[in-house]
Structure 1
Amino acid sequence: MILFVVQLAAAQSTPHRTLLALSKGTHTLATVDPSTLQVIARLPVGPDPQKALPDIDTGALNGPHGLEFVGGKVWFTAEGAKAVARYDPKTGTIDWIMGTGQNRTHMLYVTADAKQIYTTNVSSGTVGILEEVTPTSAPSTQSGAPAVAQPVPAAPAAQSPMNWNETVIAVGKGDEGFDVSPDGRELWTANSQDGSLSIIDLASRKVAATLDAKIFASNRLKFTPDGKLVFITSLRDGNLVIYDAASRKEYKRVRIGHGAAGILMDDIAGRAFVACTPDNYVAVVDLRKLEVTGHIDVGPGPDGLAWAIRQ
């Protein structure tokens, strides 16, 4: 099953922009007003509140985890099936699936045009790049004639004329949390088992650097909105580790609790929200001062964080 938030609460008046925070302890989704940092409502979710409301049967696509909402559709990983899939809320169907061939395809990032997908494959220690391409016909084999690929004739409207290619890049052990820089040039991933950070140059699709960051049990990694800093959380370390993206050197460590998971950037208010699971709160970090300025009680064991934008 995959759980998907389709509405906050019909009876509740919510702001245009609402912070969503999942509590593992109470299996609830808290909706938070970002202007006051007050909880507006708590909604029940399923037994695994990393993933939230209502149930969608994914069939053989077992072990769904990473979620992205792009182009009006929900893109998700299926760890057990070694695949990425897409769900259309309008038709209530899964309309696209692609296998990765990698073990435990965990997190994903979908570009705004939905033409590229990046995944971390934890047990394989790889990053996958899936790219939509236009298929071409087989090259000409006539004697003396150059092999020129010809475009495939347009397919009927009911069919997609697009194919997908995959590039697999080896990184560190246990890569999980990752992000793509705002300029789209680099992908940084935190490798939870060996404590390193891998930086991939997306133009060449090669590892440009491996940093011995010593961030063991790393969980999530996010660029700040300006792309200058990189935030990394660890499930077993109470520090939020901050790297300078340009120099690729550690910039600061901010004490936030006893361990942390989800990170959500707020580009409007210049802050970050960090789910401090063992401490039962979400920490608010000022992006200019790089200091904790507050805490939000969303329920015990906070984990996943996201924005809900009311249309």
Structure 2
Amino acid sequence: MLRIGQLITFFLVVGVVGFGVREVSYAQARPALIVLNKADNDLAIVDPETMKITGRVAVGDGPHEVVISADGKTAFVANYGAQTPGNTFSIIDIAAAKELRRVDLGPLLRPHGIQLISGKLYFTAEVNRAIARYNPDTDKVDWIMGTGQNVSHMIAGSSDQKSFYTANIGSDTVTMFRLQNIPPASSTITQIPVGKQPEAIDLSPDGKEVWVGLNAENAVEIIDTASAKSVMKLPLGGRPYRVRFTPDGKTVLNTIFQTKEIVLIDVVSRKETRRIKLESTPFGVAFSKDGKTAFITAAQPDVVLRVDLETGEITGRVETGRSPDGVAITGI
């Protein structure tokens, strides 16, 4: 027979549907917006509902990109470096606002684009012209593959870990990796020519298209992944610093550098659906789960903006530090 304490634990953690008790889960952490301040070498933890800072953590030099674990408890920061190339990750306990450890990547320099898939951290090592994988469970880099291209900056990967794409700013290409299994026993690498200075990149949720921002052409280019060929360029009227699919895959958001705007494009029609003017130059993007809200890091003045994508209204703002760039969100 269960005792009183055991019954209370049973009801709270498991729940009893027949008695009308809603199941309660403590696996997911509280909502949090993580913002990297490049010039301050730290990150700010922000409540995305109140847009108030709840914590701050020092990280390595020049933090550029950040991702959050599936349970919302841990942030992984790529420390890109400043004049001296960086070669570390900072692993952050979000609730405690504490750096758990700093991972030394050894000869892999300027980690930048990062993506967390099934608990594995895939990243670009820009100086090495490579992508690699770090396993937090073993605390080791267990896989590396070269792009053979210059300034492999950002990365986009499929959820099954079998397709990866890098934007290579210095080679005007996108590198496509097709992996047979993980770790890959065999693979194919394809260099896809694109326009001038590709940087921003994202893969559609269905894996059929890659959209790439062209810094020197003020446009976004669309690649068909089945044929590994470019199919279209869309002019944007400014440099697209980041190009991101909304979670439902129906819209692509572009942060436009020169005009201080975000531009929304319908994926099917390829038509612009909304252009939202901002107070600052936009950089990074993170979406709420429903894709209706975007959190935008921006500079001059340095702020993070909460934007309602349906109305175009700015619904919140917070100053997190100097040169906010990489951003990630969990819990909403």
TM bin, normalised by shorter chain, reads 0.7 to 0.9
Residues 122 and 203 (structure 1 numbering): CA distance in 2 closer, same or farther, change over 3 Å? same
Q: Report what 1:71 is aligned to.
A: 118
Counterpart check, 1:211 vs 2:251: no
2:30 partner amino acid: H
Residues 213 and 287 (structure 1 numbering): CA distance in 2 closer, same or farther, change over 3 Å? closer
Q: 2:194 aligns with which of 166, 171, 185?
A: 171
Instruction: Say whether the 8 Å CA contact 1:109–1:117 is kept in structure 2.
Output: yes
User: For residues 33 and 236 of structure 2, what CA distance do their matches in structure 1 show?
Assistant: 30
Residues 133 and 241 (structure 1 numbering): CA distance in 2 closer, same or farther, change over 3 Å? same
Instruction: Say whether the 8 Å CA contact 1:198–1:209 is kept in structure 2.
Output: yes
Q: Secondary structure at the match of 1:260?
A: strand
Instruction: Say whether the 8 Å CA contact 2:129–2:146 is kept in structure 1.
Output: yes
User: For residues 224 and 130 of structure 2, what CA distance do their matches in structure 1 show?
Assistant: 24
User: For residues 292 and 308 of structure 1, what CA distance do their matches in structure 2 show?
Assistant: 20
- Offset at 1:78? 0.8
Q: Report what 1:198 is aligned to.
A: 221
- Offset at 1:84? 0.3
User: For residues 291 and 211 of structure 2, what CA distance do their matches in structure 1 show?
Assistant: 24
- Offset at 1:226? 2.5
Higher strand share: 2
Determine what percentage of the aligned residue pairs are the same residue.
Answer: 38
Provide structure 1 residue ranges, at least 5 long, that are not aligned to the other structure. 1-13, 135-158
Residues 39 and 117 (structure 1 numbering): CA distance in 2 closer, same or farther, change over 3 Å? same
1:43-85 per-position Cα deviation (integer Å, ceiling 9, x unaligned): 1112212125243222222221111111212111011111000
Residues 293 and 271 (structure 1 numbering): CA distance in 2 closer, same or farther, change over 3 Å? same
- Offset at 1:233? 1.2
Counterpart check, 1:118 vs 2:165: yes
Q: Report what 1:17 is aligned to.
A: 31
TM-score (normalised: structure 1): 0.81
- Offset at 1:38? 2.0
Name which of structure 1's ranges 56-65 and 165-174 shifts more when overlaid on structure 2. 56-65
- Offset at 1:133? 1.9
Instruction: Say whether the 8 Å CA contact 2:218–2:235 is kept in structure 1.
Output: yes
Which consecutive segments of 4 or more residues in structure 1 shift more than 6 A?
A: none
Q: 2:246 aligns with which of 212, 224, 249?
A: 224
Counterpart check, 1:35 vs 2:18: no
- Offset at 1:194? 1.4
Instruction: Say whether the 8 Å CA contact 1:32–1:39 is kept in structure 2.
Output: yes
Provide structure 2 residue ranges, at least 5 long, that are not aligned to the other structure. 1-27, 65-77, 80-89, 91-100
User: For residues 270 and 242 of structure 1, what CA distance do their matches in structure 2 show?
Assistant: 12
Instruction: Say whether the 8 Å CA contact 2:113–2:124 is kept in structure 1.
Output: yes
Instruction: Say whether the 8 Å CA contact 1:236–1:258 is kept in structure 2.
Output: no
Instruction: Say whether the 8 Å CA contact 1:237–1:258 is kept in structure 2.
Output: no
Instruction: Say whether the 8 Å CA contact 1:15–1:33 is kept in structure 2.
Output: no
- Offset at 1:277? 2.0
1:127-186 per-position Cα deviation (integer Å, ceiling 9, x unaligned): 11111126xxxxxxxxxxxxxxxxxxxxxxxx9562121111111111111212222221
Residues 161 and 189 (structure 1 numbering): CA distance in 2 closer, same or farther, change over 3 Å? closer
Paired positions, count: 271
Q: Secondary structure at the match of 2:255?
A: strand
Q: Report what 1:156 is aligned to.
A: none
Instruction: Say whether the 8 Å CA contact 2:245–2:251 is kept in structure 1.
Output: yes
Instruction: Say whether the 8 Å CA contact 1:237–1:260 is kept in structure 2.
Output: no
